[in-house]
Amino acid sequence: MNFCLYCHVQLERSLTWTNWLTVEDNDVLCSSCADKLERISGERCEVCSRAWSSALCLDCQQWRQLGENIERNYSIFYYNDTIREMISQWKFRGDYVLREIFRNDLKDTFEKEFAGNSSMAIVPIPLSESRMHERGFNQSLALAEMLDAPVKQVLGRKSDEKQAKKNREARLRRNNPFFITEPLKQAVLIIDDIYTTGTTVRQAAQQLKLHGCPAVYALTLARS
């Protein structure tokens, strides 16, 4: 690709005698846009990926007291203004090609953090039928399909309520919107775009575990 997918400036690549045979045409962002994506680094909560100096953040300590449903969520980026706008443009304005921005980081993280469990099923968070009709694609499925691993769509969604417009209390109190279309008797890796309070992945994990899944992990693009 010759232009940045996000700001559309022409991409510049420096060729030297040592790299001209190996340089790959896989850069999709200019250096300015790429630098605005903040990768989570350093110490993090071992369950939810929040930047934290001890093993469990306060939220995950509370989830554990309530009965934890996920083994671990691994998020790649901080949910800053840049990634929020990128995801919004991709999801809500139909700029589907923007998913390519995340391909390499998503695949690299999957291979580093989760690919050791070859029996793990990849399960995207579903959209309701009305939301799917409105948007035209499921962003979580679009991410899952970039992992080059078998994807199992075994979750359905019965609620049309938008999580992004709910406050924390409303998210935690609402009924579970997910249902199982096919029980799985193997570990699962849930794929979603944003981890906010963790309610979505935990509600999905609850349904999976109620129907025989022994362990549920999650891989998300961004941690808010």
- The whole-chain average pLDDT of the chain stands at 90
Query: Which phi and psi angles does 47 have, rounded to 5°?
Result: -105, -45
Of residues 167 and 28, more confidently modeled: 28
**CA gap 83, 96 in Å, rounded:** 15
Least confident piece of the model among 3-12, 14-23, 37-46, 68-77: 14-23
Task: Say yes or no to pLDDT of 44 above 90.
Answer: yes
Measure CA 116 to chain center.
19
Q: Summarize pLDDT for 91-142 with one digit per residue, the tens.
A: 999 899 999 999 999 999 999 999 888 889 999 999 999 999 999 999 999 9
At 191 the three-state DSSP class reads: strand
Cα→Cα distances 65→6, 58, 59, 61, 172, Å: 42, 11, 10, 6, 14
Which of the pair, 15 or 130, is modelled with greater confidence? Answer: 130
- DSSP class of 175: P
Domains of the chain, earliest start first: 1-35 (no CATH), 40-223 (3.40.50)
Sign, CA dihedral 218-222-223-224, equals negative
pTM: 0.89
Q: Which of 102, 68, 97, 73 is nearest to 191 (CA)?
A: 73
186 within 8 A of 197, measured Cβ to Cβ: no
Say if residue 143's pLDDT is above 70.
yes
pLDDT at 79: 98
SS3 (DSSP) at 83: helix
Q: How far out from the chain centre does Cα 207 lie?
A: 19
Q: Would you state the pLDDT for residue 115?
A: 83
Q: With bands split at pLDDT 50, 70 and 90, how would you rate the model's confidence at 27?
A: confident
The pLDDT, as a whole number, for residue 34 is 96
pLDDT of 161-204, one tens digit each?
A: 655 555 555 555 568 999 999 999 999 999 999 999 999 999 99
Q: What is the dihedral of CA 52, 53, 55, 57, to 10 degrees?
A: -40
Q: Residue length, the chain? A: 224
